[in-house]
Amino acid sequence: MTTQVDSGVRQRTRRAILDAAAAAWARDWSTSLGDIADRAEVSRSTLHRYFPERQALVDALLIDAQDTLERLWTGATAASGSPIESIENIMIAIAEEANRIVFLFSDPSRFAGNPNWRADDDTDDMVDLVRAAQADGTVDSDIDAEFTVGIVYSLVYVAAEAAASGRMPRHKAAEYAVRTFRHGLSPRHHA
Amino acid sequence: MTTQVDSGVRQRTRRAILDAAAAAWARDWSTSLGDIADRAEVSRSTLHRYFPERQALVDALLIDAQDTLERLWTGATAASGSPIESIENIMIAIAEEANRIVFLFSDPSRFAGNPNWRADDDTDDMVDLVRAAQADGTVDSDIDAEFTVGIVYSLVYVAAEAAASGRMPRHKAAEYAVRTFRHGLSPRHHA
DNA sequence: TGAAAATGGGACATGAATGTGTCATTCTTC
DNA sequence: GAAGAATGACACATTCATGTCCCATTTTCA
């Protein structure tokens, strides 16, 4: 039981476990709690103290990742003057913290029915943003908006992969992704 | 024991199992053999007759998917006159049979050490193709070639997802992907 | 039609992951 | 330095996927 507010120690342990789980489950949903505990550098006992059941960790992770996503979203849109600028800033922001977020999209159907799942809302917001950019004339209207959102996410994923593999710094990978998006979805192009 | 050549019945059962496993494992590597048997509409007993151990199914699937990939590759490059045309034709071809192939790239590290793994060769070939297209002047040389290959695969993945969800016909999704690639990686663009 | 092939269904043992609990040890904090 | 918090290291039961049989039934093909 927590005394009053969780101590700094507990916060750090909790975060280590969440981050380890996010990174592991992004690649392999069947990663065992024992492996996650190892990655977090805690014992399996400790992991179970923080998250009594596997489902408790899943739920906490879901909430944490979506909170992070919305925080990034707010920051990125606040600093933007146009829809396409918002999209590009969001891409960069997500690429920065991809380790905590990617697992959300590795297989969304996995969380279907989970009352904590609300990332669809973010995707809906992104679709709205793309539609606004299409109305703007800054994004190709010939390509389906939902499809375009899929491209946005997958470009971010490629950037995150490239950064994680150590082949290039994260900011450079993000720049490539944004650049490809901007050019690839540009409306003015000879047939 | 097989009499002489596998009967047509066995071929169809075997294919149903391989396809079910490829589709299931592309999304969730922890899908049980029981679930795969259900998807393939065979009993778990039958599945075990064809693939005594889980590993046997993994190996067979690995070989089957890579054979498919190389077949597509050969056909696509044979019908192409330039590197970029080859790349685009391969994208379309892979999108067609994505269900059998995508699982290869869902987490390649999973197959590290497996003697049957050779998809890296295909990726290497793709890198060569991109480099040729860059030398051509048809693909942006400012973006890392390996990163570009990642984009190619992920665009195909997005197309396959869109088609699988039923939001659009497969050929249209593939067209979007190719279009995004062509424009997104185009070299001539104002800064 | 009859034999062989192929499949379905179930029983059973095994191993890995999970969940629970206890106790000793280490770390914080006053 | 002492009390409480936090952790690590086990032990144990339970559940589930896996692998191995066996036998009845259906399907295929000569």
| Among A162, A48, A53, CA closest to A102 | A162
CB B106 within 8 A of CB B29: yes
CB A2 within 8 A of CB B2: no
Establish whether the CB of A10 is closer than 7 Å to any nucleic acid atom in strand C: no
> Do B66 and B21 have their domain in common?
no
Contact flag B184-A181 (C-beta cutoff 8 Å): yes
Least confident of A180-189, B7-16, B88-97: A180-189
Least confident of A77-91, A176-190, B152-166, B173-187: A176-190
The alpha helices in B81-169, defined as continuous H runs, are 83-96, 98-101, 103-106, 119-136, 145-164
Residue B126 has pLDDT above 70, yes or no: yes
Domain ends where: B52, B72, B89? B52
> Do A39 and A74 have their domain in common?
no
User: pLDDT band at B184, cuts 50/70/90?
Assistant: confident
> Do A127 and A157 have their domain in common?
yes
User: What is the rounded distance in angstroms from the CA atom of residue B155 to the CA atom of residue A185?
Assistant: 12
Average pLDDT over residues B143-156: 96
- Closest residue in B to A174 (Cα–Cα): B147
Asked if residue B75 is part of any domain, the answer here is: yes
Average pLDDT over residues B46-62: 98
pLDDT value of position A2: 36
CATH number at residue B18: 1.10.10.60
Residue A9 has pLDDT above 90, yes or no: no
Total domains present in chain A: 2
Max Cα distance, chain B (Å): 67
> Do A82 and A140 have their domain in common?
yes
Establish whether the CB of A48 is closer than 7 Å to any nucleic acid atom in strand C: yes
User: What is the rounded distance in angstroms from the CA atom of residue A119 to the CA atom of residue A175?
Assistant: 24
Q: Is the dihedral of CA B34, B37, B42, B46 positive or negative?
A: negative
B189 or A87: which leads in pLDDT: A87
CATH number at residue A143: 1.10.357
Question: Could you tell me how far CA B180 lies from the centroid of its own chain?
Answer: 19
User: pLDDT band at A190, cuts 50/70/90?
Assistant: very low
Q: What are phi and psi of B36, to 5 degrees?
A: -65, -40
pLDDT value of position A7: 74
User: What is the rounded distance in angstroms from the CA atom of residue A63 to the CA atom of residue A61?
Assistant: 5
- Closest residue in A to B187 (Cα–Cα): A183
Residues 99-158 of B with CB under 8 A from A: 107, 109-110, 143-144, 146-147, 150-151, 154-155, 157-158
CB A95 within 8 A of CB A178: no
Q: Which residues of A touch B161 (CB under 8 A)?
A: 150
- Closest residue in B to A27 (Cα–Cα): B107
- Closest residue in B to A186 (Cα–Cα): B183
Residue B189 has pLDDT above 50, yes or no: no
Q: Pick left, alpha or beta for residue B137 (phi over 0 → left; psi -120 to 50 → alpha; otherwise beta).
A: left
What is chain A's alpha carbon radius of gyration, rounded to the nearest angstrom? Answer: 18
Look at the block and give the residue holding tokens 């984009």. Answer: B151
> Do A156 and A107 have their domain in common?
yes
Protein-covered nucleotides on strand D (Cβ within 7 A): 4-10, 16-22, 27-29
pLDDT value of position A185: 72
User: What is the rounded distance in angstroms from the CA atom of residue A120 to the CA atom of residue B120?
Assistant: 34
pLDDT in tens, A94-150: 999 999 999 999 988 999 999 999 999 999 999 999 999 999 999 999 999 999 999
Who's near B57: CB < 8 A, 6+ residues apart? B17, B18, B21, B33, B36, B47, B50, B51
Look at the block and give the residue holding tokens 């380890």. Answer: A20
Average pLDDT over residues A21-25: 97
End-to-end CA distance of chain A: 65
The share of chain B scoring above pLDDT 90, in percent, equals 89
Q: Please tell me whether residue A5 adopts helix, strand or coil conformation.
A: coil
User: pLDDT band at A8, cuts 50/70/90?
Assistant: confident
- Domain of residue B126 covers 62-184
> Do A30 and A72 have their domain in common?
no
> Do B40 and B109 have their domain in common?
no
Report the residue of B27, B158, B190 to disrupt the A interface, i.e. the one with the largest count of A CBs within 10 Å: B158
pLDDT value of position B2: 37
Protein-covered nucleotides on strand C (Cβ within 7 A): 4-10, 16-22, 28-29
> Do B43 and B78 have their domain in common?
no
Query: Burial letters for A31-40: b for 16+ Cβ neighbours within 10 Å, e otherwise?
Result: bebeebbebb
Which residues interact with strand D by a CB < 7 Å criterion? Answer: A 2-3, 6-7, 9-10, 13, 41-46, 49-50; B 7-9, 32-34, 44-45, 48, 52-55
Residue at minimum CA to C1' distance from nucleotide D10: A45
Contact flag B147-A158 (C-beta cutoff 8 Å): yes
Least confident of A173-187, B49-63, B151-165: A173-187
User: pLDDT band at A165, cuts 50/70/90?
Assistant: very high
Q: Which residues of B touch A143 (CB under 8 A)?
A: 176, 179-180
Q: Nearest CA of chain B to the CA of A6: how many Å? A: 35
pLDDT value of position B5: 62
pLDDT in tens, B63-112: 999 999 999 999 999 999 999 999 999 999 999 999 999 999 998 899 99
> Do B77 and B101 have their domain in common?
yes
Asked if residue A190 is part of any domain, the answer here is: no
pLDDT in tens, A32-73: 999 999 999 999 999 999 999 999 999 999 999 999 999 999
User: Quick one: A5 exposed, middle or buried, by C-beta within 10 A (0-12, 13-18, 19+)?
Assistant: exposed
Q: Please tell me whether residue A185 adopts helix, strand or coil conformation.
A: coil
User: What is the rounded distance in angstroms from the CA atom of residue B169 to the CA atom of residue B132?
Assistant: 31
pLDDT value of position B164: 94
